[in-house]
Structure 1
Amino acid sequence: MLRLRLDPSSPPAVQVGGCATWETIASLAVLARFRVRGGGTYARWAHETQQRVSPDLVRELWLRVAAVSPPPPSDSSTPDFGEAFGGGDLPSLLDEYWCAAVEPYWTEMAETVRAEVRRRNETLVARGWVAMLSGIDAHLRWRPPLLASPHQEDIRHVARGRRLRLVPLVFGGAWSLFTALPVGAVAVSYALPAGQALQGLPGTQACVDTEVDPLAILLGRRRALILRCLDRPATTTTLSAALGIAPSTTSEHLRELLEAGVVRRTRRGNEVFYELDRSGFTLMAEFS
């Protein structure tokens, strides 16, 4: 869990900015962890990218970048993998992946991020940093004075933040990135809202199946989409917003998936999260 205590009476220095290197890491998480076929937030992008990028390359890159803390986010408009990851063959392999998987979409992605940065900075100036953090991401919870990522089991960090760098990512829905920076600063990513993030990405559509999905034939289209979006724990509200389905309908589908034993439910504070159970992972492996 990531927990940052931000004292409203002593405002931290907050900076918002995208990062091409972090986008690359997050996009690898989409391909390596989602294993989408026919549905999911980034389904069509993943399908097109899998035609151009070797699965072995994705697997190797993900294992290597996920094993270390992400590099400090840079303001460069393009990634510098040599500076971020040092010597060896990793920078050249990441560059190969970037050219095939991310660069073709980068112009539209960068504009989406710039629009988000402008919006957050305008809120920061007009209403202050507490308002700016409100509603930032369903997976990055802001309840003053704590900024927390309770679902992210890969992060174990508790700190009192004095300098905060927020990194909006188009591919941020797959993986939360976090790194500690010098002088008590921290950087953390958050996902852009699906409608905003995917606007302008050629051939990408949020949580909509793009081909005949065998899992949808077995379970029904909406239940299949819910399963494919449960790569990480999510609330009914999050799923409903991502899929464009009424909360009551989403709840009914989740109830049926719970009864089938492919989804489990856990309560964390006042929120209820749903995630794939072991049977669910097995099922997804069969239909990935």
Structure 2
Amino acid sequence: MVTLHLSAADLSRTVLRSEPSVLLELGAAGQRVFQTTVPEHLVAWRARTRAAVRPVMWPYLDLCRQERWFPDFLTPPGFSGELSPALAEVAATPTSTLTAELRPRIEAGELPPRVGPLADGKPDAVRRLLDAMEAFHAVAVGAYWETIVAAVHADRAVRGRAIVDAGLDRVLRGLSPYLQFTPTGDTYELSYRCAFGGDVGLSPGGRGVTLVPSYFVPQPAVLDDPTGPLVLTYPIRPARRELATGQPLAHLLGRSRAAVLGVVADGLSTSQVARAVGISIASASEHTSTLRRAGLIVTHRAGSSVVHTLTPLGEHMLRAGRPD
């Protein structure tokens, strides 16, 4: 059991990220590819991804095959949602870190000998790793990123409403079926059962906790960076539909407008739509106006902002646009 011992100061500094981490999703996808069983909504995804694996991807997939271990340097603390800056963080990993993380695993036979040049920090090996990550991302994560982001946004929207309606205590109690939240006098415990056995206790010491929702991770995991908040990544609630690219809808509406329709499912403002899709506020406003005139979304005012939500027709189109 891994238990986070939280003070009132930790709770006051607990935040929930609005975006998934691209490298956390990539690493979890790499592990999912090798699992004998996956959730129903990932079965077809795994088959497609396995079929797309190429030799260029193995410098990365070699590091993903260990079910109970994943190199920390492949998930740097920046937790960027964009691939390029995230890869730049990996590229800056000191050789001493590569050696410390990889060499013992090679010597124990848990990693193949061909990982040796990477453990020694050879520039060519680092370059091959980055190329492998980029190639695997294209087939396993990048093609599905809009769907992944929309699912994470939807999960976060539920948490946000729960904070307003019932407070952070209720959110942490229902955050994930894998997590247990227990008040214990003046402190609080947030715990989960670790697949590796044993008991571990961690205390942020007033640093707080950053909660990172994830589409692919199978169970919660803690990343403890002493220079920042303690990070807890957790799986969002399983999707009810198969993970798909949504390309038929993109062909009908155009890629950007289809992406706007997808994120509006979470009930977002115009500026939030712009950030989620990566477009300007003016473009987001234009797209939402077009979708509203088509009867696919409705817009209502919430304070100083406007919030867009799907109509029944828009929800039906969104579902129909995701292929089986």
TM-score (norm 1): 0.59
Question: What is the deviation of 1:95?
Answer: 1.1
SS class of match (2:244): coil
> What are the Cα deviations for residues 42-63 of structure 1, in whole angstroms up to 9, with x where unaligned?
2111011111014872641315
Residue type of the alignment partner of 1:190: Y
Residue type of the alignment partner of 1:22: L
Question: What is the deviation of 1:190?
Answer: 0.9
2:149 aligned with 1:110, yes or no?
yes
1 CA distance for matches of 2:194 and 2:226? 26
Partner of 1:201: 243
Partner of 1:141: 180
2:205 aligned with 1:165, yes or no?
no
Question: What is the deviation of 1:135?
Answer: 1.9
Residue type of the alignment partner of 1:83: A
Q: How many residues align?
A: 199
Structure 2 unaligned blocks of 5 or more: 93-125, 247-324
Partner of 1:153: 196
Root mean square deviation of aligned Cα: 3.1
Q: Point out the structure with the larger helix share.
A: 2
State the 4+ residue runs in structure 1 displaced beyond 4 angstroms. Answer: 154-157
Partner of 1:178: 222
> What are the Cα deviations for residues 232-267 of structure 1, in whole angstroms up to 9, with x where unaligned?
xxxxxxxxxxxxxxxxxxxxxxxxxxxxxxxxxxxx
2 CA distance for matches of 1:102 and 1:154? 30
Deviates more, 1:132-141 or 1:73-82: 73-82
Shift of the 83–59 alpha-carbon distance from structure 1 to 2, 3 Å rule, reads: closer
Partner of 1:71: 76
Check conservation: 1:2, 1:152, Cα contact below 8 A.
no
> What are the Cα deviations for residues 175-230 of structure 1, in whole angstroms up to 9, with x where unaligned?
533211244621111111113xx5472289xxxxxxxxxxxxxxxxxxxxxxxxxx
2 CA distance for matches of 1:31 and 1:200? 15
Question: What is the deviation of 1:28?
Answer: 1.2
2 CA distance for matches of 1:11 and 1:156? 22
Check conservation: 1:113, 1:168, Cα contact below 8 A.
yes
Shift of the 181–129 alpha-carbon distance from structure 1 to 2, 3 Å rule, reads: farther
Question: What is the deviation of 1:167?
Answer: 1.0
Of 187, 200, 203, the residue aligned with 2:231 is 187
1 CA distance for matches of 2:89 and 2:180? 28
Q: Determine what percentage of the aligned residue pairs are the same residue.
A: 18
TM-score (norm 2): 0.53
Partner of 2:252: none
Shift of the 51–19 alpha-carbon distance from structure 1 to 2, 3 Å rule, reads: same
Residue type of the alignment partner of 1:189: T
2 CA distance for matches of 1:82 and 1:40? 30
Partner of 2:95: none
SS class of match (1:48): helix
Partner of 2:45: 45
Residue type of the alignment partner of 2:25: E
Question: What is the deviation of 1:157?
Answer: 4.4
Shift of the 139–11 alpha-carbon distance from structure 1 to 2, 3 Å rule, reads: closer
Partner of 2:262: none
2 CA distance for matches of 1:74 and 1:155? 27
Q: Radius of gyration: which is bigger?
A: 2
